[in-house]
Amino acid sequence: MTAIVENKPAYDGKELDLSGKSGARAFKNVLATVLIVAAFVIALIPLIWILWTVVSKGYHLLLSADWWSQSQRGVTVRREGGGAYHAIMGTLIMALITAVIAVPIAVLGAVYLVEYGKGTKAARAVSFMVDILTGVPSIVAALFIYAVWITIFGFNRVGFAVSLALVLLMLPVVLRSTEEMLKLVPDELREASYALGVPKWKTILKVVVPTAFGGIVTGVMLGLARVMGETAPLLILVGYSKNINLNPFDGFMGALPTMINQDRTELALQPAADRVWSAALTLILLVLALNLLARLVARFSTIKSK
> Is residue 142 domain-shared with residue 273, that is, in the same domain?
yes
pLDDT in tens, 44-59: 999 999 999 999 998 9
270 — pLDDT class (breaks 50, 70, 90): confident
> Is residue 36 domain-shared with residue 91, that is, in the same domain?
no
306 — pLDDT class (breaks 50, 70, 90): very low
> Is residue 41 domain-shared with residue 153, that is, in the same domain?
no
Q: Is residue 8 part of a domain?
A: no
Q: Is residue 15 part of a domain?
A: no
Say whether pLDDT at 3 is over 60: no
Q: Is residue 12 part of a domain?
A: no
Q: Is residue 290 part of a domain?
A: yes
Contacts of 173 (CB under 8 A, 6+ apart): 134, 219, 222, 223, 226
Q: Is residue 16 part of a domain?
A: no
Predicted pLDDT of residue 302: 57
Return the axis-axis angle of helices 85-111 and 256-263, rounded to nearest 10°.
130
Domain finish residue from 36, 63, 90:
63
> Is residue 54 domain-shared with residue 114, that is, in the same domain?
no
> Is residue 213 domain-shared with residue 250, that is, in the same domain?
yes
291 — pLDDT class (breaks 50, 70, 90): confident
Range of 213's domain?
69-301
pLDDT in tens, 162-220: 999 999 999 999 999 999 999 998 989 888 988 888 898 899 988 899 888 888 888 89
> Is residue 37 domain-shared with residue 175, that is, in the same domain?
no
At 135, which CATH number? Answer: 1.10.3720.10
User: How many degrees, rounded to 5, is the angle at CA 252 between CA 246 and CA 257?
Assistant: 85
Say whether pLDDT at 1 is over 50: no
